Structure 1
Amino acid sequence: MMAIGRKEREPFVIQHADVATGDADGKLLHDMTIVVGSDGRIEQVLPSNQAFVPAGYHCIDATGKVVAPGLINAHTHLFAEGKMMKAKTVSPRQEQAAVALLHSPIGKAYMAAKVKANAKTLLNSGVTTIRSLGDVGYEMVALRDKVDADEVLGPRILASGPMLCIPGGHGDPYIALSSTTPEEARLNARINLEHGVNVIKVAATGGVTDAKEVGVAGSPQMDEASMVAVCEEAHEAGVIVAAHAESAAGVKAALRAGVDTIEHGSPMDEEIVDLFLHNPRSLRGFSGLNSTLSPCLPLVKIDQEVLGISDIMRSNSEQVTDGMVQGARDGHQYGISEGVGTDTAMGLVTQYNTWRELDLLVRYADFTPAEAFHAATQVNAKNLGIDDATGSIAIGKDADLLVLDGDPVADLRFLEHPQLVVARGWPVWRPKVKHMEEVDSLVETF
């Protein structure tokens, strides 16, 4: 990732571009000029024949191009790249040794370099804001602080630190702190907050990737009282809470506890819909949804032998995937605030393919391309509580921008190769990412 030091941003103007607003109706504004000041904020958004270009501003002619808001990925992990997942058995002793290595000085240095490289990939792919939801330690907090201080160029980061779970539950022991009582769960939330996290994640149910038995995925794990304690602690600090939940029972318990976003989801009944729309315990009175279709669909759509996954993982995937897809459809139908997260680092979920989640929402969850792009920009910004700073192209907001070859509402693939990425006013000229051809060819099959 490029070091910035503390030099001042160069003010610039993007002229004669069409602007994809990110509105749900897919509005496109023609021949617009966007003026960005040295503080990285947008100063003007006007038709080109009305805009005033201040002296000394660098001018970029974007005739024939489309400027769009930067993408927001609300569910990332940066500890891996998203390669193929192969079945392997790890003994308790091997697991303990691996955890000890990750938390050693060498492991911490390795992980710091890893998340920095993966954040660069996300940024170069057009993602200008990320939320991490399950980290090895507090390496994402450290990277966020460097980005915020303009020491390195990167996406805006909401960092969770380790997720919170029950002993042996989802995420334990690699990326989680475990607890058995509400008091212990509250303490773990405080530990994360003291380390500077600005989001917290709980595991309301088991998951697919680390389940050791069939039926674990979606089974209730952290109890409602413990999740209430976590939400109370986080909300007092103004921090939102996300919940991994892959069954109706887990979703209901998490929403009743007051979580602000549900990750993955399940089919919805009237109680679930009502809690999403009007959640009195959540920080802002409603809860959002990130269906994360990117990690679950490959596990059931691609031949098991090709993937190399275990029978346990395949079975657990089959048990929860249909429910997650139905939950995405239900959320769309009932007007729930449904955003976009991909669960990067999971098998076949690369750091550079955020645009594919939008495509999956269109193919499997009844979204229009305009609605999917809206979800990845304005809706995500609202759900994460950062819509005052990003998510749309408006005066006073940070210049989180993409310059594309065409309108993403007309073809979402225009998001795959941005010609220019701007993060908080810092430009990434000629952004490039290294693709994993084996992974890309597999996800193209469905």
Structure 2
Amino acid sequence: MTSRTFIRCGRLFDGLSGLAETDRTLVLYGDTIDWAGPTAQAPAPQPGDRELDYSAHFVMPGMVDCHAHISYGNALAQEDIDLYATMEFRTLRSMVAAQAILKSGFTSIMDPACSGLIAPAVRDAVNVGLVQGPRITASGRALTTQQGLYDWYPSWVGVPEPSTGIMTGSMEEAIRIIRQQARDGVDAIKLTMDGIHARRNGGGLIAAYTQAETHTMVDEIHRLGKLAVVHARGKEGALYAARAGVDIVFHASNICDDGIQAALDNSTWLCPSLALLVNNIEFHEPTDASAPWWPDIQRRELVAASQNLRRARAAGVRFMSGSEAGFAVTPYGEWGAKELEAHVRYLGFTPAEAIRCATVDSTRLLRERDKLGGLVIGKLADIVVVDGDPLADITVLQRREAIHAVLLGGQPVDLTPAPTHARHFSEFSQGMWSKVYDRAYVNAHLQPAAALAPQTVA
């Protein structure tokens, strides 16, 4: 007979009521919440039952990062993501990345673009018990077209096979790729709805696909029972995506009023992923290759996102939480909870609303959505135990030492930090120099070290 687990909570934030109730108890049967309520009314433990005493702590649902790229490897550059490490090495590295995210209090993630089928493979390894990790909702390679995101390289290189994107030269090819990914068992299929090219009249980024093309792909994705998710920072891409009825638009920083209305009409969710913008602004250093230009671009986008997404939220559009973990500036297990702070600082959420967004709302489209959604009877016991009060200070959730315990399906997670591995030479390009050492630079800045003395030839 399966024993029960009794969890004594000092303050319980179930994710639904918006309140933190004192002196509460959860009773688990297996991996599921079987009873929840005041401790004085809880059933009595029986011999063999387990008790966990968190009566001095804040207990809340496990968090969700709906925008985590576990195959990226904390990349320093796009080439590091696409080109160098073998697929086998990336897969092993991705398992450690997923574990680091779990240890930081995120019990579920969505990976909306990966190399090959790495995210689905790690998902399956977790689900059959090969490794411990968060619950994963996985995509494969993101569909792109010329000038779209992921079409980074010169035309004579194209989109390489190990890239996290895949080129669609026609609608026939796009439909073939969508069907192949569905066959390969992805949960979601990602479309790139804008790239790097903007209109000269200040109209913003040009959509990578036309409205008709977007409808065609989204209809096929939905026909096959998969989520349709898109990358769209520009207003045109976000508008086309929302009109086509996609499930999630990532970023949507420049969404317009028509796009907001389309999102409302078609029940499209927005996942702002502001942590990436904020970290690019706060953490850049003069030695970063992008320092002269990138932080200013991010500042402008953050201003636009704050204004446009506040309007979307006021109109009733639904939001998810995702940090875009996987880059060097958003490393795994470090800044996931910063997205909650960004929702408070830039989008007008209260701490309670930000926590609900990251724990309940963000489960609505996940693979296990029917079993997730708050610490209430019948839901999986994915739990975070916190030292401190995130309702008073949302940044508490960013402190490693404040994450007292994480339970996945009622089972405690080992919070020993995930190992930080030395970077293997195959993971990144062999950068040799940061500038061109012409005579003017050397004379102005350097006193060259003496070279070796010539060897005497016998």
Q: TM-score range by the shorter chain?
A: 0.7 to 0.9
Change (3 A) 1:254 1:16: closer
- What is the TM-score normalised by the length of structure 1? 0.82
* Number of the residue aligned with 1:138: 117
1:109 aligns with 2:85: no
Q: 1:294 aligns with which of 275, 282, 301?
A: 275
Question: C-alpha distance in 1, partners of 2:171/2:14?
Answer: 44
Question: C-alpha distance in 2, partners of 1:27/1:315?
Answer: 39
Q: Report the number of matched residues.
A: 403
Letter paired with 2:94: V
Change (3 A) 1:181 1:313: farther
- For 1:393-408, list aligned pairs within 5 A: 393-408=375-390
Letter paired with 2:24: M
Change (3 A) 1:399 1:258: same
1:355 aligns with 2:337: yes
Letter paired with 1:218: L
Change (3 A) 1:60 1:301: closer
Deviation at residue 113 of structure 1 after TM alignment? 0.7
Contact 2:136-2:367 at 8 Å conserved across structures: no
Contact 2:228-2:248 at 8 Å conserved across structures: yes
* Number of the residue aligned with 1:72: 64
Contact 1:390-1:398 at 8 Å conserved across structures: yes
Letter paired with 1:330: R
* Number of the residue aligned with 1:190: 179
* Number of the residue aligned with 1:181: 170
Change (3 A) 1:9 1:185: farther
Contact 2:148-2:193 at 8 Å conserved across structures: no
* Number of the residue aligned with 1:21: 14
- For 1:379-398, list aligned pairs within 5 A: 379-384=361-366, 386-398=368-380
Where 2:176 maps in the other structure, the secondary structure is helix
Question: C-alpha distance in 1, partners of 2:3/2:297?
Answer: 51
Where 1:164 maps in the other structure, the secondary structure is strand
Residues 17-56 of structure 1 show CA distances to partners (whole Å, capped at 9, x for unaligned) of 3211224x73011111111222x11111121111123431
Structure 2, unaligned stretches of length 5 or more? 152-158, 422-458
Deviation at residue 161 of structure 1 after TM alignment? 0.9
Q: 1:200 aligns with which of 159, 170, 189?
A: 189
Range with greater deviation from structure 2 (172-181 or 348-357): 172-181
1:273 aligns with 2:260: yes
Contact 2:263-2:317 at 8 Å conserved across structures: yes
Compute the RMSD of aligned alpha carbons: 2.9
Question: C-alpha distance in 2, partners of 1:26/1:142?
Answer: 36
Deviation at residue 303 of structure 1 after TM alignment? 5.3
Deviation at residue 242 of structure 1 after TM alignment? 1.0
Residues 357-415 of structure 1 show CA distances to partners (whole Å, capped at 9, x for unaligned) of 11111112211111111110111112447542113001111111111113321222332
Deviation at residue 325 of structure 1 after TM alignment? 2.8
Contact 2:96-2:418 at 8 Å conserved across structures: no
Letter paired with 1:78: I
Letter paired with 2:246: V
Q: 1:364 aligns with which of 346, 353, 363?
A: 346
Deviation at residue 261 of structure 1 after TM alignment? 0.7
Question: C-alpha distance in 1, partners of 2:19/2:7?
Answer: 19
Question: C-alpha distance in 2, partners of 1:319/1:182?
Answer: 34
Letter paired with 1:375: C
- For 1:47-126, list aligned pairs within 5 A: 47-52=38-43, 53-82=45-74, 85=76, 99=83, 102=85, 107-126=86-105
Letter paired with 1:199: A
Question: C-alpha distance in 2, partners of 1:250/1:49?
Answer: 54
Sequence identity of aligned pairs in percent?
26
Where 2:310 maps in the other structure, the secondary structure is helix
Contact 1:18-1:29 at 8 Å conserved across structures: yes
